[in-house]
Amino acid sequence: MMRFLLLFSRQGKLRLQKWFTPMTEREKKKITRDMTTMVLSRQPRSCNFLHWKDLKIIYKRYASLYFCLAIENQENELIALEVIHRYVELLDKYFGNVCELDIIFNFEKAYFILDEFLMGGEIQETSKQMVNRSIEASDMLQETMEEYMSKPAF
Amino acid sequence: MSDVVEKTLTALPGLLSLDSQPGSTKLSSSSKLGNLIRGITELTSKHEEEKLIQLELTSIKEQVSSPNTSMRQMKELMVRAIYCEMLGYESSFSYIHAIKLAQQGTALEKRVGYLAVSLFLNESHELLLLLVNTVLKDLQSTNLIEVCMALTVVSQMFPKDMIPAILPLVEEKLNHPKEIIRRKAVLALYKFYLIAPNQVQHIHNKFRKALCDKDPGVMTASLHIYLQLIEENPEGYKDLTTSFVTILKQVVGGKLPMDFNYHSVPAPWLQIQLLRILCLLGKNDQSTSEIMYEVLDESLRRAEINHNITYAILFECVKCIYTIHPKSELLEKAAKCIGNFVLSPKINLKYLGLKALTYVVQQDPKLALQHQMTIIECLDHPDLIIKRETLELLFRITNAQNVTVIVDKMLEFLRVNKDDYTTIDLVGKVAELAEKYAPDNEWFIETMSTVFSVGGDTMQPDIPNSFLKLLSEGFDSMEEDRKLRLFAVDSYVSLLQEEPGKLPQRFLQVISWVLGEYSYLREDLEVDTVLRLLAKLLDMKTTSSETKSWVLMAMTKLCEGGAGVSVAREVSETYSSSLDTVLRQRAQELQHLSQDSEMRARVLPRNAGLDPLEVDSSLSFLDGFVSEALAAGAAPYKPPHQRQEELAQAKALSLEPYGLSLPISMSSCCITDRQSPTLLSISSGLSGNSNDLSYRGGLKLDGVKRVWGREGYLAQREPVEESAHVEVPSPLRSPSQQGGAGGSHSHTPTHTPTPEPELEKQQLASSLFVGLASQSSVCLMGKSEPTPQRFRRKANSPASSSAASEKQSNSMVSAPSTVDNLMFNNLLDSHITSEPAVSSLEQTPQLSQGLVAANGSCDEELPDSDVNGSSPSLIGDDPVVAAELAPHEEPPKDLLLSSCLPAELSGLSHSEITPLCSDQILDLSACHVQKEDALVLVVFIYNSSDSDIQQILLELDSEELEVSCESDSAVQEATGHSVAVCQYSLSVKRPSVHVELVGMVSYQFPVGTPQSVQFSYKLPLSSFIRPMTVSTEEYGTMWLDFSHDTKQNLTLISDDQEPLTATLSVLKKKLQLHVVEIIGMEGIVACRLLQDQPCLMHCRMHAGTMAVWLRSPVPDLPDCLMYFCQRALQEH
């Protein structure tokens, strides 16, 4: 099971956080701090897997943004890396050439996509088409014309 | 793909000029959020940001509370509030509005509302109560999207106690026509299963339906639940193996719709899930394993594309092949596959290759030999993670011949490592290896010194403890012991002469203890040199007060002769006015004992490591003092939990009287603290067959804490070891010799001449992998090895060793307890002299007890605490029933009463019959009978008059108990000189150490006025305890679910072979507990409080005591049970 997913910038600014198990605010802050320092201090081209307490941390950098996923000990590291990659693909498909700014300004959309992709710490839908279809379905549902226009084109 | 993504912008300040770029339209530049974000990026200091956000929050606050704000505006405000929270600024005022938005908004607004709720609120937040209705409504909605949103939020954050409210609706969704709803419902149920397995027990057959769902997505989702279920009980699902194999075959064969492909690999997530399930099912089960060989082979074959995702599948395949019943053909392929990982230039794959090697090296040590050069390279890898994993692998192949090299490498790593968690883990491993395989004294002491200085104060306390234990208990030869101790003294003295300020506190404590005990061994060492070195420690600012008391203790042992006394006087003067009471006490001891050398020799005998000290833990020598104090009007002693309780009652607001009970959370942060003992904690990554016990069902055997394995206690030198000696040229090699000696070893493959650095590596390799080749005596994981072990303990029987350890810890820490011991001889007298009053009273119950026994109805299992009338407890608050017993009571009546016990109860054990009250007409007595599933209170009403009495009405009431009448009616009648019997069954509402019933009996003569008499009856909670039979797995799941806990160290009983077993069997007998399993130093025990309130107990032997951890869903139950355990052991 996945425990949490954090997105942060190269400067260590948090861009998105998803906690799959209940945690207090203090724990969250501590973990976020630990993760940013740990991941940002990694040399390029080194291993994408880390240990933190009894969790495995899988991180990957996409341009200026770091994706950092914590999984339980018995999980498979490589597949976790692909979870991150699939999420990036989904974002890319939705925003069209996604960049950090898309996620900053439309972070709620990024959350919605994540919620369609993962649920309760497990993969829910692996098909790109399906995730996008359900996001669009809810997007279209009640959107006013104005909002529809301001939505990214793809 | 990633190139496409990496087109992104570099820095945020460039944002404003973005308008001309193609992406600008999507930035909704006019929105308020956009303005806020842009505003923040323009700022330069943290302080400015704070100001801006505060301003923003104020404006949000104003708007959300305004009644004119529309839901659409609210949605926008919520997004801004989420952003502020993400930056770390609290906006708690908006929480309630988030819930409102989720409640009242249209679908799109609702979505933001739900998102905000799930980001803002924690599982335990009280506002979540308000969400239940909204979720209920949305689950019933006809709008699919609303149902989806509700299911999503439910799986994200729903608290355990609210699950029942929505469970039926979620369950219903399993039959929904839309597959997306079904899938989400399955996942929500999976989540419920994780947090509250009991609540979804009734729908297990519905999971099976989900597994057979025509939509592959729903089926995939149901596998999460199955993985969990099978992990807990593999036996129960063997029948599904064929189905899982068939599904996997179809997936691998590409039968699923293209939609499920990921980079042209068919449903990799599904494949991995299935492989993990098969792995669990096939473990230790040949026939089941045989079903899956074919599909595993096919999976290996099909995964050929060079992509991460296929490697992920391969890795899982390999793991599975090595876990299930072995098949040589598959093993060969898997080994080849591991080779591909290890040799891969991709660092991630190399890492996993090392992991896989660590995993399989137990079954196939030759595989490590094959890859030895790669392993050596990884050992010098710049990436610490790779290095760490390599060390983990080396740890598993350590033996007496390569220990020095491997430990060297580990220490080297420790010096550069900065992560505490890794340090703690690795330090434990080094200590374990050092104790197990140390080639000589010098090496051992030096290695341990490094362990102590690197491990610092974060390391597990067992490490220094067992080190000191090892030193003090000694080994087979006195001479060896002396040498070891002498070397320790030498090296510590020189350490103190250098820079003691840099050493961690724990190490200083070890040093002072060793110097205090053994510095006399070095004859040319002046006592006052040592004293001065120690005194220097006291003066350092960095020294903690705990260390100071260790130092003072050591000085107390040392101070003799003129110089010693003067140093002692100086020091004790400084510290006898210390604010720290412990220090002050130590200083006083130092002062007094330094002046009276005869007393010192008695209290702190030199080299007294061998004779166990007896400690009177019940402090009975104080009985005289206590009875005097009581006579003088002092309040009787109340144990802490009772005081707590009274305090809690006094303060009505305190809902949780015990600070120890933490809120339930499965969060990762508190893992180390709250982890179930049935989970493996610090074991390294993959774990194989031989340690699978600890991986799943068993106790935590692996990892740092287990410093001494079972073989550590191997006593005698066995002939086998001698033969092992022959094979090894010289076990006492120093590291410098190691390379050469290893090189000449016959097992190492011969290489053609190679350039210099290569040669070095090969030498390292041969010293690392020595002893690994195919002999029968290959020892991995230190299991069952006949290799010579240097530090073998003496042939202590475990009982005496634990007694010795108790002694040792006492002599180490507390002088007072030693003094106690001096008074121990008086124990017997003090009992007699201090309790004349009690003992005279005691006779009566003893007598009646004897009679009951003669009557044949007293059973051996009668819990001890029930007959505690015979225990001489003056201090305890125990309402000794005997004390209430009126002296004129005649024994024969007891006999009469016990013969009146209802027939169905007479065979069961019952407490002694206690008089409740009497007047001139009626005499009431009662006892309680322990049935298997109930506790029955039997009240005897004896009519001592000549006339008959009708309409005797008995009313019972209790705050702590549920009382229900078992007889047909509560109204009785009693003829003259006869006994009427009423039965009540009792169950506990609110646990407390003693529960009390108050009652009133009213009756009427045929002629005359109604009469009534009041009485009360007290009984210990332990009468309500029954054994609970659970399996280790069940125990594990339950453990995590229980929120109320307490921890305490109890004394071990050591009159048997195995102290833990002996102690637990005493508890089992006295308190009717069920011992689930005992593994090594740990034991798990379960019991229930009638009717079925479980309470779990986890015990661990540690430094001569038993660390007990009790957990239960019922508040106060752990504390009460702890009290009874303590008493049971004291009375033993």
H-run or E-run covering B1011: strand B1011-1020
What integer is the mean pLDDT of B293-318?
A: 90
Our CA-based measurement puts residue A152 at a distance from the nearest CA of chain B, in whole angstroms, of: 5
**Highest mean pLDDT: which range of A78-92, B541-555, B898-912:** A78-92
Task: Return the pLDDT at B782.
Answer: 36
Over residues B1076-1120, the pLDDT tens digits come to: 888 888 888 888 888 778 888 888 887 777 888 888 888 888 888
H-run or E-run covering B40: helix B32-42
Interface test with A, best of B144, B156, B352 (most A CBs within 10 A): B156
Our CA-based measurement puts residue B761 at a distance from the nearest CA of chain A, in whole angstroms, of: 23
Which residue in chain B is spatially nearest to A38 when comparing CA positions?
A: B419
Exposure class string for B829-860: b at 16+ Cβ within 10 A, else e = ebbeebbeebeebbebbeebbebbeeeebbee
Chain B residues lying within 8 Å of A51, measured CB to CB: 385, 388, 419, 421-422
β-pair partners for A67: A7, A60
Greatest distance between any 2 Cα atoms in chain B:
120
| Residue reference for tokens 């160290």 | B1049
Our CA-based measurement puts residue A22 at a distance from the nearest CA of chain B, in whole angstroms, of: 6
- pLDDT category at B321 given cuts 50, 70, 90 is very high
Between B785 and B589, the more confident residue is B589
- pLDDT category at B190 given cuts 50, 70, 90 is very high
The DSSP output letter for B324 is: B
pLDDT above 80: residue B307: yes
CB atoms < 10 A from the CB of B343, how many?
12
**Rg of chain B taking only CA atoms, in angstroms:** 36
Task: Return the pLDDT at B650.
Answer: 58
Task: Return the pLDDT at A110.
Answer: 93
Task: Return the pLDDT at B223.
Answer: 94
**Highest mean pLDDT: which range of A119-133, B129-143, B1024-1038:** B129-143
Tokens in use for B889? 């009571």
- In angstroms, the CA B18 to CA B24 distance is 6
Task: Return the pLDDT at B680.
Answer: 32
Task: Return the pLDDT at B720.
Answer: 38
What's B496-518 look like in SS3? HHCCHHHCCHHHHHHHHHHHHHH
- In angstroms, the CA A123 to CA A121 distance is 7
Q: Does the distance separating the beta carbons of B5 and A97 come in below 8 Å?
A: yes
Q: Does the distance separating the beta carbons of A111 and B187 come in below 8 Å?
A: no
Which residue in chain A is spatially nearest to B347 when comparing CA positions?
A: A47
Quick one: how far is CA B549 from the chain centroid?
Answer: 30
pLDDT above 60: residue B841: no
% chain B with pLDDT above 90: 16
Q: For the residues of B561-605, what is the DSSP string, one character each?
A: HHHHHHHHHHHHHHHTT-SSHHHHHHHHHHHHHHH-HHHHHHHS-
Interface test with B, best of A79, A97, A134 (most B CBs within 10 A): A79
- Compute the count of residue pairs across chains A and B with CB atoms less than 8 Å apart: 233
- In angstroms, the CA B745 to CA B184 distance is 61
| Residue reference for tokens 């689930």 | B1076
Quick one: how far is CA B680 from the chain centroid?
Answer: 10
Between B650 and B439, the more confident residue is B439
- In angstroms, the CA B119 to CA A110 distance is 13
β-pair partners for B938: B927, B983
Chain A residues lying within 8 Å of B682, measured CB to CB: 54
Over residues B852-887, the pLDDT tens digits come to: 444 444 344 444 444 343 444 334 444 433 333 334
Tell which residue, B481, B398, B407, has the closest CA to residue B448: B407
Q: Does the distance separating the beta carbons of B83 and A22 come in below 8 Å?
A: no
Tell which residue, B683, B789, B736, B739, has the closest CA to residue B434: B789
β-pair partners for A51: A56
ipTM: 0.90
Between the alpha carbon of residue B865 and those of residues B911, B1065, B1067, the distances in Å are 10, 16, 11
What integer is the mean pLDDT of B352-368?
A: 84
Q: Does the distance separating the beta carbons of B667 and A23 come in below 8 Å?
A: yes
Task: Return the pLDDT at B791.
Answer: 55
Q: Is B261 exposed, middle or buried (0-12, 13-18, 19+ CB in 10 A)?
A: middle
Our CA-based measurement puts residue B123 at a distance from the nearest CA of chain A, in whole angstroms, of: 6
- Could you tell me if B519 and B560 are in contact, meaning their C-beta atoms sit under 8 angstroms apart? no
Our CA-based measurement puts residue A68 at a distance from the nearest CA of chain B, in whole angstroms, of: 15
The pTM of the full predicted model, rounded to 2 decimals, is: 0.61
Chain B residues lying within 8 Å of A133, measured CB to CB: none
Task: Return the pLDDT at B783.
Answer: 37
Task: Return the pLDDT at A140.
Answer: 63
Task: Return the pLDDT at A77.
Answer: 93
- In angstroms, the CA B1111 to CA B1087 distance is 11
What's B794-862 look like in SS3? CCCCHHHHHHHHHHHHHHHHCHHHHHHHHHHHHHHHHHHHHCHHHHHHHHHHHHHHHHHHHCCCCCCCC
Of A14, A22, A141, the CB nearest to B122: A22
In the β-sheet with B971-974, what is the strand arrangement from edge to edge? B971-974, B949-957, B994-1004, B1011-1020
Tell which residue, B143, B207, B221, B146, has the closest CA to residue B171: B207
Q: Is B368 exposed, middle or buried (0-12, 13-18, 19+ CB in 10 A)?
A: buried
What are the φ and ψ backbone dihedral angles of B1083, each rounded to 5 degrees? -140, 145
- Could you tell me if A20 and A2 are in contact, meaning their C-beta atoms sit under 8 angstroms apart? yes
Between B605 and B192, the more confident residue is B192
Alpha helices in B93-157 (DSSP H): 95-104, 107-120, 131-139, 144-157
**Rg of chain A taking only CA atoms, in angstroms:** 16
Arithmetic mean of pLDDT over chain B: 74
pLDDT above 80: residue A134: no
Exposure class string for B225-247: b at 16+ Cβ within 10 A, else e = bbbebbbbebeebeebbeebbeb
Arithmetic mean of pLDDT over chain A: 86
Chain A residues lying within 8 Å of B112, measured CB to CB: 108
Q: Does the distance separating the beta carbons of B316 and A31 come in below 8 Å?
A: no
Of B122, B145, B267, the CB nearest to A137: B145
B36, HSE (Cβ side, Cα atoms, 13 Å)? 25
pLDDT above 50: residue B727: no
Our CA-based measurement puts residue A31 at a distance from the nearest CA of chain B, in whole angstroms, of: 8
What are the φ and ψ backbone dihedral angles of B1045, each rounded to 5 degrees? -145, 165
- pLDDT category at B614 given cuts 50, 70, 90 is low
Task: Return the pLDDT at B901.
Answer: 73
**Please, which contacts does A53-57 make with residues 24 or more away whose CB atoms are closer than 8 Å?**
A53/B421, A53/B668, A53/B669, A53/B671, A53/B672, A54/B668, A54/B671, A54/B672, A54/B675, A54/B681, A54/B682, A55/A3, A55/B668, A56/A80
H-run or E-run covering B468: helix B462-473
What are the φ and ψ backbone dihedral angles of B283, each rounded to 5 degrees? -65, 130
- In angstroms, the CA B72 to CA B110 distance is 10
- In angstroms, the CA B894 to CA B845 distance is 10
Task: Return the pLDDT at A31.
Answer: 94
Of A81, A126, A150, the CB nearest to B269: A126
Task: Return the pLDDT at B828.
Answer: 40
Tell which residue, B915, B942, B910, has the closest CA to residue B926: B915
Of B149, B157, B308, the CB nearest to A81: B308
- pLDDT category at A28 given cuts 50, 70, 90 is very high
What integer is the mean pLDDT of B1002-1031?
A: 80
Q: Are β-strands B961-965 and B971-974 bridged in parallel, bridged antiparallel, or unpaired? A: unpaired
Of A21, A108, A112, the CB nearest to B666: A21
Tokens in use for B906? 């007479």
Interface test with B, best of A74, A90, A116, A151 (most B CBs within 10 A): A74
Greatest distance between any 2 Cα atoms in chain A:
49
Over residues B127-179, the pLDDT tens digits come to: 888 899 999 999 998 888 889 999 999 998 888 888 888 999 999 999 999 88
Alpha helices in B303-383 (DSSP H): 308-323, 328-343, 347-360, 365-370, 372-379
- Local structure of A117: helix, strand or coil: helix
Of A62, A77, A138, the CB nearest to B2: A62
H-run or E-run covering B917: strand B914-918
Quick one: how far is CA B1096 from the chain centroid?
Answer: 12
- Could you tell me if B162 and B132 are in contact, meaning their C-beta atoms sit under 8 angstroms apart? yes
Task: Return the pLDDT at B867.
Answer: 39
CB atoms < 10 A from the CB of B904, how many?
11
Q: Does the distance separating the beta carbons of B155 and A63 come in below 8 Å?
A: no
Of B34, B312, B666, the CB nearest to A105: B34
pLDDT above 60: residue B672: no
Q: Does the distance separating the beta carbons of A51 and B5 come in below 8 Å?
A: no
What's B1044-1065 look like in SS3? EEEEEEEECCCCCCCHHHHHHH
- In angstroms, the CA A68 to CA A61 distance is 9
Chain A residues lying within 8 Å of B309, measured CB to CB: 78-79, 82
What integer is the mean pLDDT of B564-588?
A: 84
What's B228-288 look like in SS3? HHHHHCHHHHHHHHHHHHHHHHHHHCCCCCHHHEECCEECHHHHHHHHHHHHHHHECCHHH
Query: Residue B569 is which amino acid?
Result: R
Query: Residue A119 is which amino acid?
Result: M
Task: Return the pLDDT at B560.
Answer: 72
Q: Does the distance separating the beta carbons of A134 and B148 come in below 8 Å?
A: yes
Interface test with A, best of B2, B311, B682 (most A CBs within 10 A): B2
- In angstroms, the CA B449 to CA B431 distance is 10
pLDDT above 90: residue B1061: no
Which residue in chain B is spatially nearest to A100 when comparing CA positions?
A: B8
Between B847 and B943, the more confident residue is B943
Q: Does the distance separating the beta carbons of B217 and A22 come in below 8 Å?
A: no
Chain A residues lying within 8 Å of B123, measured CB to CB: 22
Q: Does the distance separating the beta carbons of A78 and B308 come in below 8 Å?
A: yes
Q: Does the distance separating the beta carbons of B421 and A24 come in below 8 Å?
A: no
Chain A residues lying within 8 Å of B95, measured CB to CB: none
| Residue reference for tokens 């019940």 | B618
